Structure 1
Amino acid sequence: MNRRSLNLALAGSLATALTVLALPAKAQETEKCYGVAMKGQNDCKAGMHDCKGMSTSDYDSESFKLVPKGTCTSMETPKGKGTLEPMKS
């Protein structure tokens, strides 16, 4: 392979690799699942605070965690299953 062919091949490979890296990955659909987040690991809350990571207790029924769509209500915790709507404690 001559030098020019090698340079073209390398440039093509680099361009392909950069294109693949620049494409956004398909975002997984998620849903808010209340009552499954551990203390300080919530994504948000409906009520006392609205900040990520601010829950003060495990499985707070008003704090949610983003989970893959369709999995929330099958999640088991010591306090019951996850819910798609906030529950008053």
Structure 2
Amino acid sequence: TAHGKITGKLGVCMSIAGPGATNLITGLMDAATDRSPVLALVGQIPEVYLGSEAFQEISQIALFRPFAEYAETVARANQAMKLTMMAAKYALKKPGLSVLS
């Protein structure tokens, strides 16, 4: 969060699915409160297993949505570029937090 707050440039962090996402909460809430531009890229279990209560499956977007400016799931590879550009735009515009899973 310090990078974005000090420079005004987009900070980026990454995590694995499930517990990796929950471990980001404190830092990302701090970034959101500080209005720091941050893009969080959060891993996800394979789409075929979504909704099956698979190992490490949690509702990641629902977890971040209350304090994120933008939070979306990249369901298909052909969506990745468009959603990444949108997430960066939202993070820099306010500034604030954007999350892609």
Q: TM-score, normalised by structure 1?
A: 0.26
The structure with higher relative contact order (CA 8 Å, sep 6+) is 2
Q: Which is greater in Rg?
A: 1
Structure number with the higher helix fraction is 2
Give the TM-score, by structure 2 length: 0.24
